[in-house]
Amino acid sequence: MSSPHPLPQRFAIGYHPTMAEAPLVAEAVQQFLERQGYAVVICAPLPSLRQHLQAGQADVLIALGGDGTMLRAGHVCAPLHIPVLGINLGRFGFLMEVRQDEWPRRLPLLLSGQYWLEERMMLTASHLRGEQVLGEWSVLNEVVVCRGQIVRPVRLTATVDGYPLSTYIADGLIVATPTGSTAYALAVGGPIMPPELRSILIVAVAPHLSMDRAVILPPESVVTVTVQSSHQAVMSVDGQPPLPLENDDVVRVQANHNTVQFIRFQDRGYFYRNINAYMELNPAAMDNE
């Protein structure tokens, strides 16, 4: 483990708003910290914490939930440079650092500075219609451009730095971070990328007579995906509800200047140990977290 980090003094505890046990565990964590003498401990459902965090009221966010909770925490904390510690209350918890039954043993490591920060790359996705930017989002896992409710492949043209890459006839196209390489991209046969890499992954979903190999790009690359379809296409960022796309709409993806900082106690080889264990699980069959 690397040398100790600065000792956090102010804590925010954000929990999944619909998990029945989450408020109880959050209250127990809050009481633990207060018994250690920490006077500033903000505890609330994660969506309610944004203003407190933006006001600089916390040095660390402790996120209680599953991987979806960790994604949402990362989106809030990345631009504020606030590190996130995940306590897993879900079933999968690939991004989480601490199991529910072990947080009383792990939190003292955080309080004594015995942790390291794992920085994970983010992307920026923009939706363009002609010269107009209709929306822009930060991305921790992936942005997906895919077919809508009509069960037919869509035609998508991808470029890299303005140069043609390929035209895909497919159910969709995923542009992912290394973090996202173990999410949807893995499910469609993409490569597993270590989380500390700074690379952009492109992989097609069910390509038909199209490029069926994943492409890994350097972080300086700018990827555009242009919709060329006579029927509905949509885009989704980090699993959020899909947004409709029109023919000739463009989704532009490039590296985000922010990174997410995850607090880790395990040694840096944890990822390779965990990937084997988690590959035996089926997160698609589990509850949404």
- Residues annotated within the binding site for NAD(+) are 67-68, 72, 141-142, 152, 171, 206, 240
Q: Which residues contribute to the annotated binding site?
A: 67-68, 72, 141-142, 152, 171, 206, 240
Q: Are 54 and 142 in contact (CB under 8 A)?
A: no
Q: Are 255 and 200 in contact (CB under 8 A)?
A: yes
Note the Cα 210 to chain centre separation in Å.
28
Q: Is 67 a catalytic residue?
A: yes
Beta bridge partners of 82: none
Alpha helices in the chain (DSSP H): 22-35, 50-54, 67-77, 103-111, 184-187, 270-279
**Residue 32 main-chain phi, psi, to 5 deg:** -60, -50
Nearest to 170 by CA among 214, 134, 137, 130: 214
In the set 67, 212, 238, 248, the catalytic residue is 67
Note the Cα 77 to chain centre separation in Å.
12
Q: Are 221 and 200 in contact (CB under 8 A)?
A: yes
Strands 10-15 and 40-45: parallel
Alpha helices in 59-206 (DSSP H): 67-77, 103-111, 184-187
State in Å, rounded, how far the first CA of the chain is from the last one.
30
Active site amino acids: 67
